[in-house]
């Protein structure tokens, strides 16, 4: 994680692999199926600096590692993560859906 006054930025890169284990009744140890695709996932999150951190912005994408356009996907992922990292640094406050609720009061 990287911290600055605007919040904490976290970037994760995960490699997924299909195994012989079932979802409902997992067994240990699970064997990885070598012949299957192994997508690589990238996730970026930006949290504010509050006592209970809130997500300012996020991005995640899982794509196959063997894809022909892997370079283009990687460049897009990097650009998206840079945008997430910049969340909260601008002069304008960031408003997210559901951040505020309004109701009409009854006449006095």
pLDDT digits (tens, 9 = 90+) for 22-65: 777 667 778 888 776 777 888 999 998 888 888 998 998 886 65
**Considering the domain boundaries, does residue 55 fall inside one?**
yes
> Which residues span the domain enclosing 60?
8-86
Answer whether residue 74 shows pLDDT above 90.
Answer: no
- Closest by CA to 56, choosing from 47, 69, 65, 66, is 47
**Considering the domain boundaries, does residue 91 fall inside one?**
no
**Considering the domain boundaries, does residue 65 fall inside one?**
yes
- How many structural domains does the chain have? 1
Beta strands in the chain (DSSP E): 2-4, 7-15, 39-47, 55-64
**Considering the domain boundaries, does residue 94 fall inside one?**
no
**Considering the domain boundaries, does residue 96 fall inside one?**
no
**Considering the domain boundaries, does residue 100 fall inside one?**
no
- Mean pLDDT along residues 82-98: 71
* Residue 51 pLDDT: 82
Q: How confident is the model at residue 104 (pLDDT cuts 50, 70, 90)?
A: low
**Considering the domain boundaries, does residue 92 fall inside one?**
no
pTM of the model: 0.62
């Amino acid at each position: 994680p990287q911290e600055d006054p605007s919040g904490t930025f976290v970037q994760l890169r995960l490699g997924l692999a299909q195994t012989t284990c079932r979802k409902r009744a997992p067994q240990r140890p699970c064997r990885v199926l070598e012949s299957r695709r192994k997508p690589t996932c990238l996730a970026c999150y930006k949290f504010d600096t509050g006592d209970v951190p809130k997500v300012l912005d996020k991005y995640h994408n899982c794509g196959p590692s063997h894809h022909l356009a892997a370079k283009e996907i990687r460049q897009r992922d990097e650009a998206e993560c840079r945008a997430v990292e910049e969340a909260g640094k601008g002069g304008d406050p960031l408003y997210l859906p559901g951040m505020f609720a309004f109701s009409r009061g009854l006449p006095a």
